[in-house]
């Protein structure tokens, strides 16, 4: 087994038969900064959540099997360098980009841009795929640049929106709202077929409790948004911005024990409520 890459969250290995093994660690990152504090059970939740979604979304994917509690064997694909983000609610970075007029789409004039408001229809809002910082892009630019064929972009767009709607229905039946989600795809090197890849868990979507949902307010998240909010509260986000202006990254703070416990607890609650399974 050969280590190919160590990401912010996953370690990626090549197996002797050509397949890939994904090891889901307990590492966590926020604002493109990898924290040094681990989150108990996080890797297992991400792995098992990925297995659950791959088995229930009725879309061709790269998963072969889950191994142990935090490892997944997948087919080797040629990964397409696009994060296929679908947004169902007016929240997060979308608000800042909208206010600056930097979105790649127009919202209906009848839409009231209230924080956390549900969008009239899910929006396809792709970004570049990077270990450093994902940047919103126009999908058509990827076509003109030769990265994708038009039919491939259309397939990824329609599939992503369809998957978001399916996931939303499942999450809603368990008392949650998926505000937005990020999908990745890859080409089978033998057939050229595009398959759903990477994983699907709280690191890939923003999850809220339906019972707590209130437009116009910051929502209580059952994903790593809790960490982002804490980093903002202690002023670390401002530190990141200052370092970024110099092309640097600051050393991460030690995450407070109560925040670590809350993040771990929320990941477990989300998994168990949505899947109906216990870890």
128: pLDDT strictly greater than 90: no
Q: What percent of the chain has pLDDT over 90?
A: 78
Give the mean pLDDT of 173-183: 97
- Output DSSP code: residue 61: B
Which domain does 103 fall in, by range? 77-279
pLDDT: which is higher, 132 or 22 = 22
CB atoms within 10 A of CB 11: 17
Question: Per the structure, how many domains does the chain have?
Answer: 1
**pLDDT at residue 137 in the model:** 81
pLDDT grade, residue 132 (50/70/90)?
low
Average predicted confidence (pLDDT) for the chain: 93
Q: 136: which strand partners?
A: 127
| 122 pLDDT tier (thresholds 50, 70, 90) | very high
- pLDDT for residue 131 is more than 60: no
- Which range among 89-103, 104-118, 262-276 has the greatest average pLDDT? 262-276
Cα(235)–Cα(54) distance, rounded to whole angstroms?
A: 38
Q: What is the CATH number of the domain that holds 261?
A: 3.30.470.20
Q: Residues 145-165: pLDDT tens digits? A: 787 899 999 999 999 999 999
The answer, yes or no, to whether residue 139 has pLDDT greater than 90, is: no
Find the range with the poorest average confidence among 132-146, 183-197, 220-234, 240-254.
132-146
pLDDT at 267: 95
- The reply to whether 238 falls in a domain is yes
- 13 in a structural domain: no
Q: Is residue 218 part of a domain?
A: yes
- Distance separating alpha carbons of residues 47 and 39, to the nearest angstrom: 14
Instruction: Report the C-alpha gap between 263 and 279 in whole angstroms.
Output: 16
pLDDT of 231 over the 70 cut: yes
Nearest-angstrom CA–CA distance, 245 and 228: 20
**What phi and psi, each to the nearest 5 degrees, are found at residue 239?**
-65, -40
pLDDT of residue 47: 97
Q: Measured between alpha carbons, how far is 109 from 254 in angstroms, rounded to an integer? A: 44
Q: Does the pLDDT value for residue 80 go beyond 60?
A: yes
Tell me how far apart the alpha carbons of residues 46 and 153 are, in angstroms, rounded to a whole number. 27
Supply 155's token pair: 């397939």
Q: Is residue 61 part of a domain?
A: no
DSSP conformation class of 67: E
Q: Report yes or no on 124 lying in a domain.
A: yes
Residue 133, pLDDT > 80, answer no
pLDDT for residue 271: 97
Mean pLDDT of 201-211: 93
pLDDT of res. 123:
95
- Whether the Cβ atoms of residue 228 and residue 2 lie closer than 8 Å to each other: no
Region 92-118 average pLDDT: 89
User: Number of H helices and number of E strands within the chain?
Assistant: 7, 14
Q: Apex CA 95: angle with CA 162 and CA 172, to 5°? A: 40
Assess if residue 6 is contained within a domain: no
For residues 217 and 30, give the distance between their C-alpha atoms in angstroms, rounded to a whole number.
21
Instruction: Give the residue-averaged pLDDT of 116-127.
Output: 94
2 occurs within a structural domain: no
Give residue 86's region: left, alpha or beta (phi > 0; psi -120 to 50). Answer: beta
DSSP-assigned letter for residue 38:
-
Residue indicated by tokens 């709202």: 177
Tens digits of per-residue pLDDT, 19-62?
999 999 999 999 989 999 999 999 999 999 999 999 999 999 99
Chain centroid, CA 239 distance in Å: 24
Burial label for 222, CB within 10 Å (0-12, 13-18, 19+), is buried
Mean pLDDT of 223-244: 93
Q: Is residue 117 included in any domain, yes or no?
A: yes
What is the predicted pLDDT for the residue at 134? Answer: 65
């Amino acid at each position: 087994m050969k280590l190919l890459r160590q990401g912010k969250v996953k370690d990626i290995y090549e197996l002797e038969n050509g397949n890939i093994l994904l090891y889901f660690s307990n590492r966590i990152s926020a604002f493109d900064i990898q924290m040094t504090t681990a989150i108990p059970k996080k890797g297992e939740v991400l792995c098992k959540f990925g297995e659950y979604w791959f088995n229930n979304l009725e879309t061709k994917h790269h998963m072969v099997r889950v191994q142990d509690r935090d490892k997944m064997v997948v087919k080797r694909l040629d990964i397409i360098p696009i994060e296929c983000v679908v947004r169902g609610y007016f929240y997060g970075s979308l608000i800042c980009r909208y206010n600056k007029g930097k979105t790649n789409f127009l919202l209906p004039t009848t839409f009231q841009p209230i924080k956390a408001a549900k969008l009239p229809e899910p929006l396809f809002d792709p970004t570049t795929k990077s270990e450093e910082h994902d940047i919103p892009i126009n999908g058509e630019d990827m076509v003109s640049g030769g990265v994708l064929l038009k039919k491939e972009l259309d397939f990824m767009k329609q599939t992503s929106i369809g998957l978001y709607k399916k996931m939303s229905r499942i999450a809603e039946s368990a008392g949650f709202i998926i505000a937005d989600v990020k999908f990745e795809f890859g080409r089978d090197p033998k057939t050229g077929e595009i398959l759903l890849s990477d994983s699907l868990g709280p690191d890939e979507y923003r999850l809220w409790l339906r019972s707590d949902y209130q437009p116009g307010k910051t929502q209580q998240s059952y994903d790593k948004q809790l960490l982002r909010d804490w980093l903002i509260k202690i002023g670390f986000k401002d530190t990141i911005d200052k370092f970024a202006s110099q092309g640097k990254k600051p050393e991460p703070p030690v995450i407070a024990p109560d925040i670590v416990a809350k993040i771990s607890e929320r990941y477990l609650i989300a998994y168990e409520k949505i899947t109906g399974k216990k870890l």
